[in-house]
Homo-oligomer: A and B are copies of this chain.
Amino acid sequence: MSETMDPRVGDWWRSSIIEMKPGVIRYRGYPIEELIGNVSFAQMIWLMTRGELPTEGQGRLLDAALMSAVDHGPQAPSIAIARMAATCGVGLNNAIASAVNVLGDVHGGAGEQAVEMYEAIAARIDGGMPLAEAICAGLDEAIAKYGKFVSGFGHRFHPIDPRAPRLLELVDAAAKAGYVAGRFAAIARGVEDELAARKGGRSIPMNIDGATAVIYAELGFPAPLARGLFCLSRSVGILAHAWEQTGQGGRNKGPMPREYLWTYDGPSQRPVPASHHGV
């Protein structure tokens, strides 16, 4: 149904997400009063971003991906920023904003890049290429585009990221139950094997981004939404840390204690040249 709510504005803003009239709110056609009590937060996230309701199995898998990536501690720039912002006298909404804002290509984009790589491999297979060859080609393409650290694999802190194998178990169970095809789990494991082979057997295991990317790809989310969903997920940790920091009452806390300063490597002291005296 297409309905221009005011003919003067035409389709300047156009949406199929929400329809409103006085007393009426419908998301994707469903009256809000019917959704409330029947649809979970994770299912609502699916409905809003995809247009249809997920099956229960799909909704549970999405839920697991969302709940698994909420936090990685104040060493992560996003969480550190949330805590610093909280000490600067801004609202929780502002602390969340400053923090979510940095979930860009480097800090928040690994899931998106992994979905891209998985899909590119799947497209090659659909085009008739054998699995092993498609994985090699997809991996090479990802490395050419994003550099030698393959998004979704390896972790600078965890030898094995404890979240990844558990999420893969859930994907396997969902595949067995027929909720998802299991295709992207196979591709991701193939990538893991190929990476190990290239490193002479040293494992570079899947991390949280590689594992949630498997889930998002299995569920049919386009790659850029993997970043969007990560933002929703990480917002939870961001909120929790901003709130905890608020309770601790620090004021204007920088990244390190005052006595630990930075290295200055610029010019030694020098006078302002006489030519600059008088603005």
Using a CB–CB cutoff of 8 Å, the interface residues on chain A facing chain B are 1-6, 8-20, 22-45, 48-49, 51, 53, 55-56, 60, 63-64, 66-68, 70-78, 80-81, 83-85, 87-94, 96-109, 156-160, 162-163, 165-167, 169-170, 224-225, 227-229, 231-233, 235-237, 239-244, 246, 248, 251-273, 275-279
Whole-angstrom CA separation of A193 from B23 in the bound complex: 20
Flag if B93 contacts A84 (CB, 8 Å): no
- Complex: chain B residue closest to A80, CB-CB: B255
Flag if A92 contacts B259 (CB, 8 Å): no
- Complex: chain B residue closest to A251, CB-CB: B106
Flag if B60 contacts A268 (CB, 8 Å): no
Flag if B102 contacts A5 (CB, 8 Å): no
A102 touches which of B94, B163, B273 (Cβ 8 Å): B94
A67 touches which of B39, B74, B108, B165 (Cβ 8 Å): B39
- Complex: chain B residue closest to A39, CB-CB: B276
Apart from A2-B264, A75-B255, A92-B227, what 11 extra A-B contacts exist at CB < 8 Å? Answer: A15-B264, A28-B266, A33-B166, A36-B167, A37-B279, A40-B41, A49-B243, A88-B107, A90-B104, A101-B101, A232-B235
Chain B hits for A32, CB < 8 A = 68, 162-163, 166
Chain B hits for A259, CB < 8 A = 6
Whole-angstrom CA separation of A14 from B247 in the bound complex: 11
3 A-B pairs with least C-beta separation: A16-B266, A89-B106, A89-B105
Chain B hits for A14, CB < 8 A = 248, 262-265
Can you name 18 A-B residue pairings with CB atoms under 8 Å? A1-B268, A12-B263, A13-B262, A15-B74, A18-B264, A20-B73, A23-B160, A37-B64, A41-B42, A48-B70, A48-B239, A74-B255, A81-B81, A91-B105, A92-B227, A93-B101, A96-B231, A106-B252
Flag if A93 contacts B97 (CB, 8 Å): no
Flag if B105 contacts A11 (CB, 8 Å): no
Oligomer: number of copies = 4
- Supposing A88-B102, A235-B232 touch, asked if A22 and B81 sit within 8 A by C-beta, the answer is no
Whole-angstrom CA separation of A64 from B268 in the bound complex: 24
Chain B hits for A24, CB < 8 A = 162
Flag if A98 contacts B81 (CB, 8 Å): yes
Chain B hits for A16, CB < 8 A = 244, 264-267
